[in-house]
Amino acid sequence: MEKQESAHKQLTDAIRYVEIRSRRMASELFSGEYHSSFKGKGIEFSHVREYQYGDDVRAIDWNTSARKHDLYVKQFTEERERTMLLLVDGSASMLFGSRKRSKRDLALEVSAVLAYSAIQNNDKVGLLVFTDRIETFIPPAKGRRQVLVILDALFNLQPENRNTDITAALSFVRFTQKRKAIIFLLTDLDDRNYEGGMKLLNTRHDFVLVHLSDPLDKALPRTGLLLLEDPETRRSMIVDAGSRKKVERYREAQSRYYDDLRQRLRRMKIDTVFLDTDRSFISDLNAFFRYREQKI
């Protein structure tokens, strides 16, 4: 009983720590950038005012002008309320991390900051966790309580399956999210044939890929014999990391893979943020928001 209470307190403290840190980061670093980086759903009528030299004549409100015997123009404001949906890869490959944290830990931290950025702008936020099935779905809603529900789901995540099916997750969103939303997909892309699903979702929504990687995804250390296991298939192999040639061959192959990935995403016009488990995501996320602001 005492162990259960202690584990519960540790979990509560961890959620509280992430909440405080994420709220501060969202408020101090990302709130303004997020607000200006994504358009609202459209424009709505606000009020009328007297016509001024240089106003667009197409904005003249002829009914009001006739009633008041003077020229008046319509004023519109952007409808700011938006919906954010966080798609988090819960497959076994996301448990990997060779340094400070795993890919799943990084996905949790980024999700928390994005969620708080959304609610500070009075937007809705929801969560979908997937493997090769839908593991968890929390429909979008507003408020701090909603973010705590999302954090609790991510901290207590125990997926039933180990494998990845990105296309299935994107299809679920496409058929359930009818109105335009901001979709963040957080994954290491340990899957195939997901390009078509991304393209379809990108035509209807503000779709952003957050690609998560670890230093060992790109290069192996010069050590000795390494036993490597695929976390999803559990197939294993022994690699001679003491061989300079084999270590260099691995680095070159992974470099070609990431170069090809970036080119494919660029051709597909998918906005992408590349994040690594061994460094802070703050500057990369800030740079992305600035890029989005200039793009709009």
Alpha carbons 198 and 202: distance in angstroms, whole number: 6
173 or 227: which carries more pLDDT confidence?
Answer: 173
Query: For residue range 99-119, what is the model confidence (pLDDT) as tens digits?
Result: 889 999 999 999 999 999 999
Taking 80 as the threshold, does the pLDDT of residue 86 lie above it?
yes
238 or 270: which carries more pLDDT confidence?
Answer: 270
> Tokens representing 178?
């009818």
Q: Are 157 and 104 in contact, with CB atoms under 8 Å apart?
A: yes
Type of residue at 128? L
pLDDT band at 7 (very low <50, low <70, confident <90, very high): low
Alpha carbons 257 and 296: distance in angstroms, whole number: 30
pLDDT band at 182 (very low <50, low <70, confident <90, very high): very high
- Rounded to 10 degrees, the C-alpha dihedral 56/62/64/68 comes to 100
Rounded to the nearest 5 degrees, what angle is found at the Cα of 179, between the Cα atoms of 175 and 180? 105
Q: What pLDDT was estimated at residue 261?
A: 97
Task: List every span in the chain annotated with CATH 3.40.50.410.
Answer: 2-37+83-295
**Contacts of the segment 213-216: beta carbons below 8 A, 24+ positions apart:** 213/103, 213/188, 213/274, 213/275, 213/276, 213/277, 214/96, 214/97, 214/98, 214/99, 214/103, 214/276, 214/277, 214/278, 215/98, 215/99, 215/276, 215/277, 215/278, 216/96, 216/98
Query: Residue 224 burial (CB < 10 Å; 0-12/13-18/19+)?
Result: exposed
DSSP the chain: -HHHHHHHHHHHHHHHHHHHHHHHHIIIIIHHHHHHHS--SEEEEEEEEE--TT--GGGB-HHHHHHHTS-EEEEEEEE---EEEEEEE-SGGGG--SSSS-HHHHHHHHHHHHHHHHHHTT-EEEEEEESSSEEEEEEEE-SHHHHHHHHHHHHT---S--S--HHHHHHHHHHH--S--EEEEEE---SSS-HHHHHHHHHHSEEEEEEEE-GGGT---S-SEEEEE-TTT--EEEEETT-HHHHHHHHHHHHHHHHHHHHHHHHTT-EEEEEETTS-SHHHHHHHHHHHHHH-
Identity of the highest mean pLDDT range in 72-76, 150-154, 221-225:
150-154
According to DSSP, the residues that pair with 290 across neighbouring strands are none
> Tokens representing 295?
């793009």
Q: What pLDDT was estimated at residue 163?
A: 96
Model confidence, pTM: 0.84
15 or 165: which carries more pLDDT confidence?
Answer: 165
Top-tier CATH class for 2-37+83-295: alpha beta
What value does the mean pLDDT of the chain take? Answer: 89
Taking 80 as the threshold, does the pLDDT of residue 2 lie above it?
no
Mean pLDDT of 171-176: 96
Mean pLDDT of 276-280: 94
For the chain, percent of residues with pLDDT exceeding 70: 91
